[in-house]
Structure 1
Amino acid sequence: MEPMTTTVLPGAASYSAHVPQGAVLDVVIPVYNEEKDLEPCVRRLHAHLRRSFPYPFRITIADNASTDATLGVATALSRELPEVRAIHLDQKGRGRALNAVWTASDAPVLAYMDVDLSTDLAALLPLVAPLISGHSDLAIGTRLSRGSRVVRGPKREIISRCYNLILRGTLATRFSDAQCGFKAIRRDVAERLLPLVQDTGWFFDTELLVLAERAGLRIHEVPVDWVDDPDSRVDIVATAVADLKGIWRLGRGLATGALPIGYLRQQVGRDGAPKGLAGQLVRFAGVGVASTLAYVAIFGLLRLVAGAQAANLLALLITAVANTAANRRLTFGVTGWRGAGRHQMQGLVVFGLGLALTSGSLAALSALAPSASRLVEIAVLVVANLAATVLRFVLMRAWVFNQTKATLAG
């Protein structure tokens, strides 16, 4: 048996544990007043990992300010089982406990699960395998997939689905289940994300996932078999209120640019704003198609009450502003208000070049075919506008947003 060690974590009291060297996976079990359920949970998890997990592992019991015998049970388990350690924090908060343990852990893959073990442990290896291989950055268990098997009451089912719908509507999330207590993250990714996560309670998971998704990280989802704990002591109303406050705070930070998502994406992102030319071309083409359709519609409407040159000018101006804003966010990954005015001014320069190209096309058509039909006129403008779009991409990539990337990287 290895000698017991004593370490101090940020925001935590000292703990004693048998810490195996070279653990690949560190599974954290955050607990508060769980003296009854803690021991059977840890023994069951420990036996499962010993039996079926092919890598060295560690189980960390994170006792966050329990007032019953939870810490005593955790300490006894850490003395008996070599792969188990116990940590005590003086303040409550699941997010606080996870942040403290994950920040200090030396394992390359970090995970956590609830003490009630509502999730079938058979999903643990599928959860962490993509992280160990490097394929994915985070992994979550989902109860809302078609392949999931879930047993729980209608009240919690409705609340869970409504919460995830709210996230999709307000923060444009794409992951399916933010609240399942069964998640994992690579340590190198956690080192980048955790300093930005402010919540110390139940919203911690959601905030971490939203930041990861906005940064372009790959989130792996695993359908789980999940059985609701009928004795859960979670205050649903208080948790819902805290979650809504968290959504508001996070949404405001994303909208104002207070969160450095662009810089974070450059450091760890895979695909949020593609670094390569091919990915940017795909996004830019999508914005370009939408802009071209909008331009045609606006020009056609304005042409009913104005001449061709005036209609072209106004249609181009309107779509140019929208195009710059869309490409700023979607193609080149710049968020927040910083530099937005400068980008629009530079975008107007690009607009001027597009205007010269399309207006020149109209002038050439008028000179060569004075009696050309409205359909021919629009067709010429579409071709000219597509050419202007190619020019816009080159200038935006090499000039308008290239300066922003250099600033963020510095």
Structure 2
Amino acid sequence: MTLPTPPPTPPAPLARTRTTVLDVVVPVYNEERALASSVRVLHANLTARFPHSFRITIADNASTDTTAQVADRLALEFGNVVAVHLPQKGRGRALNAVWLASDAQVLAYLDVDLSTDLAALPPLVAPLISGHSDVAIGSRLARGARVVRGPKREFVSRCYNLVLRASLSAGFTDAQCGFKAIRADVARRILPHVQDTGWFFDTELLVLAERAGARIHEVPVDWVDDPDSSVDIVATALADLRGVARLGKGLLSGGLPIAQLSAQLGRAPLEPATPGAPPGLLRQLVRFAVVGVASTLAYLLLFALLRDGVGAQWANLVALLVTAVANTSVNRRFTFGVRGKRGAGRHQLEGLLVFALGLAFTGGALALAHGVADPGGHAELVAVVGGNLLATVARFLLLRNWVFRGNGKKVGNAEQPRVGVGAS
């Protein structure tokens, strides 16, 4: 007999004590130019707007310039500014160490460049102080946010968060905004399980918290890109993708301590009772595979019929478009159990975006095949089959965790929720 999952226990409001209420950590590495002015602006802002006791902790992680000396001078200038010097580099390592050592009730951090408007700081920490939420994040992608940044960073940020939604079924909108806060009691439970010591630290912390049932509050922020930022976008993106793969493996294998964290936090986990076996996943995989085999055969037949008349790339486009529309319709009903006409148009539109990804895989495979071999024959067939296999994996993840996420099938008069990979 399966007992119903108990409702999550709401976090208690913070007790009124003499300890510091808020500890704002500013992690820095070689920031001798910006540090002093940024800390003075932050200190003045908190003094004017924050009604509780606070501390600013400068976490210098192995700077090689005069950042450490600047931090020490600021600590002498202000009684509630502390300088901490860590021997190893890594933003995640610095936050983990300083947060775990802090005696404050709410722990926050922000980037030293103050790209995020500090007006969002009180709304960020207020839900944690009141007991409404466990974690709070600033979001540049939430409704109401105002963001000024170049198209390259905008594209990378949106793609990264789409990857998180598709692969890890993340419910938060912006993983990497340098503007976050967490209750200290929650941090002490989760931080020992966060492995990353660099930029992926934020994402890993949020995924673990969300899966354990922690309540995450989002605040839309005003954010202006720092043109002098020293972050290597390509290297950071690759490291983040490796982190996503590690977390995805942990979620599917049951290797992450989700049940343990949920019990410690007193929350209802998003993870299923059986590790690595999300409800409905096996059934959906089998049905998706059946539909996929039929779609692939139909695609190959159409491709073969059209190839001689219109050429390989046009044949690929038409065959993929026709089978993609049919594939979305069949998977909508047969695989993911969505009934009725409500949302069908939106599902097809999103399915076409998924189709565009499949077109990129197969078109790229064809272009590669033509670059290394003569057009036609077995090379093209191998290319389109290989491209289709990659597109199929991506299609399942996107259909399950994006297109049909949050939809349900009618069971009598009740609505049965549809969930993402690893959710219950």
TM-score above 0.5: yes
Question: What one-letter code is carried by the residue in structure 2 that aligns with 1:179?
Answer: Q
What is the match of residue 38 of structure 1?
35
RMSD: 2.6
What is the match of residue 166 of structure 2?
169
Kindly indicate whether residue 181 of structure 2 is the aligned counterpart of residue 178 of structure 1. Answer: no
Give distance in 2, aligned partners of 1:156 and 1:199: 22
What is the match of residue 113 of structure 1?
110
Kindly indicate whether residue 80 of structure 2 is the aligned counterpart of residue 83 of structure 1. Answer: yes
Question: What one-letter code is carried by the residue in structure 2 that aligns with 1:59?
Answer: I
Kindly indicate whether residue 226 of structure 2 is the aligned counterpart of residue 229 of structure 1. Answer: yes
Give distance in 2, aligned partners of 1:108 and 1:40: 26
Conserved? CA contact 1:215–1:269, under 8 Å = no
* Length-normalised TM-score, structure 2: 0.60
SS at match of 1:111: strand
1:164 CA displacement:
0.1
SS at match of 2:242: helix
What is the match of residue 335 of structure 1?
none
1:270 CA displacement:
3.2
Q: 1:124 aligns with which of 107, 121, 126?
A: 121
1:23 CA displacement:
1.1
What is the match of residue 7 of structure 2?
none
Give distance in 2, aligned partners of 1:149 and 1:271: 34
Question: What one-letter code is carried by the residue in structure 2 that aligns with 1:83?
Answer: N
Give distance in 2, aligned partners of 1:37 and 1:273: 41
Give distance in 2, aligned partners of 1:257 and 1:59: 38
Give distance in 2, aligned partners of 1:49 and 1:179: 23
1:267 CA displacement:
2.1
Question: What one-letter code is carried by the residue in structure 1 that aligns with 2:27?
Answer: P
SS at match of 1:58: strand
> Tell me, which stretches of 5 or more residues in structure 2 are unaligned?
1-17, 274-278, 288-334, 336-410, 413-424
Which protein shows a greater Rg?
A: 1
Output aligned runs, 1:243-262, within 5 Å.
243-262=240-259
1:68 CA displacement:
0.4
Give distance in 2, aligned partners of 1:146 and 1:191: 31
1:262 CA displacement:
1.5
1:266 CA displacement:
2.2
Kindly indicate whether residue 190 of structure 2 is the aligned counterpart of residue 193 of structure 1. Answer: yes
Conserved? CA contact 1:99–1:194, under 8 Å = yes
1:271 CA displacement:
4.0
Conserved? CA contact 2:124–2:181, under 8 Å = yes
Give distance in 1, aligned partners of 2:218 and 2:92: 21
SS at match of 1:76: helix
Give distance in 2, aligned partners of 1:110 and 1:45: 15
Kindly indicate whether residue 146 of structure 2 is the aligned counterpart of residue 142 of structure 1. Answer: no
Conserved? CA contact 1:217–1:269, under 8 Å = no
Output aligned runs, 1:7-406, within 5 Å.
22-273=19-270
SS at match of 1:150: strand
Residues 318-354 of structure 1, C-alpha deviations (whole Å, 9 max, x = no match): xxxx9xxxxxxxxxxxxxxxxxxxxxxxxxxxxxxxx
Give distance in 1, aligned partners of 2:257 and 2:223: 36
Question: What one-letter code is carried by the residue in structure 1 that aligns with 2:255?
Answer: A
Structure of greater relative contact order (alpha carbons < 8 Å, 6+ residues apart)? 2
SS at match of 2:25: strand
Give distance in 1, aligned partners of 2:31 and 2:103: 26
1:253 CA displacement:
1.2
Structure 1 residues 274 and 135: alpha-carbon distance in aligned structure 2, compared to 1, 3 A threshold: farther
Question: What one-letter code is carried by the residue in structure 1 that aligns with 2:25?
Answer: V
> Tell me, which stretches of 5 or more residues in structure 1 are unaligned?
1-20, 281-285, 295-321, 323-384, 387-410
Q: Which runs of 4+ in 1 moved over 4 A?
A: none
Give distance in 1, aligned partners of 2:171 and 2:79: 39
Question: What one-letter code is carried by the residue in structure 2 that aligns with 1:36?
Answer: R
Question: What one-letter code is carried by the residue in structure 2 that aligns with 1:23?
Answer: T
Conserved? CA contact 2:28–2:61, under 8 Å = yes
Give distance in 1, aligned partners of 2:87 and 2:210: 32
Give distance in 2, aligned partners of 1:272 and 1:258: 15
1:78 CA displacement:
0.2
Structure 1 residues 224 and 251: alpha-carbon distance in aligned structure 2, compared to 1, 3 A threshold: same
Give distance in 2, aligned partners of 1:90 and 1:118: 26
Question: What one-letter code is carried by the residue in structure 2 that aligns with 1:168?
Answer: R
1:256 CA displacement:
1.2
SS at match of 1:155: helix
Give distance in 2, aligned partners of 1:204 and 1:57: 24
Residues 138-181 of structure 1, C-alpha deviations (whole Å, 9 max, x = no match): 00000001200100000000000000000001000010000000
SS at match of 2:112: coil
